[in-house]
Amino acid sequence: MEIRYKETKDFTPAELQRLFLSVHWESGRYPEKLARAMKNSTRVISAWDGEKLVGLVRALDDGETAAFIHYLLVDPAYQKAHIGSGLMNRLLAAYEDMLYVKIMPSDPKTVPFYEKFGFRQYDNYCAMEIKRL
């Protein structure tokens, strides 16, 4: 397995649907919206095994002070192969001059992964969301 990383915002809805549903994310049921969302994102880095999309990280930023990592996902068949770390390292390198890089993990089990990259939880922060799926 040779994983290639690409910075692209062009994905087919089917590629995104397969990846998002592989991790049981509800947004995978909206592949056309996902494809448009990628095009409108500030930065998207993807991982590929041949022609198969196996991982993706997406961020939104203001170009100067703050970047928000919206999600990082890796196909379960490819987890434990350090693809998530490869995606995160590439994204953080692109944001090395940003004052803040933030993520709000939705699964507490992923917190140790993000802590390896220097992310810290603060008592005065809490995530809030309106869900319309």
Beta pairing partners, 75: none
In the chain the domains, ranked by start, together with CATH numbers, are 3-115 (3.40.630.30)
Q: What is the pTM of this model?
A: 0.91
Residue 107 has a pLDDT of 83
Structure tokens at 103: 């993520």
Check if the beta carbon of residue 111 is closer than 8 Å to that of residue 103: no
d(CA 78, CA 107): 19
Of 34-38, 70-74, 99-103, 108-112, the one with minimum mean pLDDT is 108-112
Mean pLDDT within 108-127: 84
Is there a contact between 3 and 48 (Cβ–Cβ < 8 Å)? yes
Query: Stretch 61-87: mean pLDDT, rounded?
Result: 95
Helix H or strand E encompassing 49: strand 43-49
Least confident residue range of 66-80, 96-110, 118-132? 118-132
Q: What is the pLDDT of residue 117?
A: 93
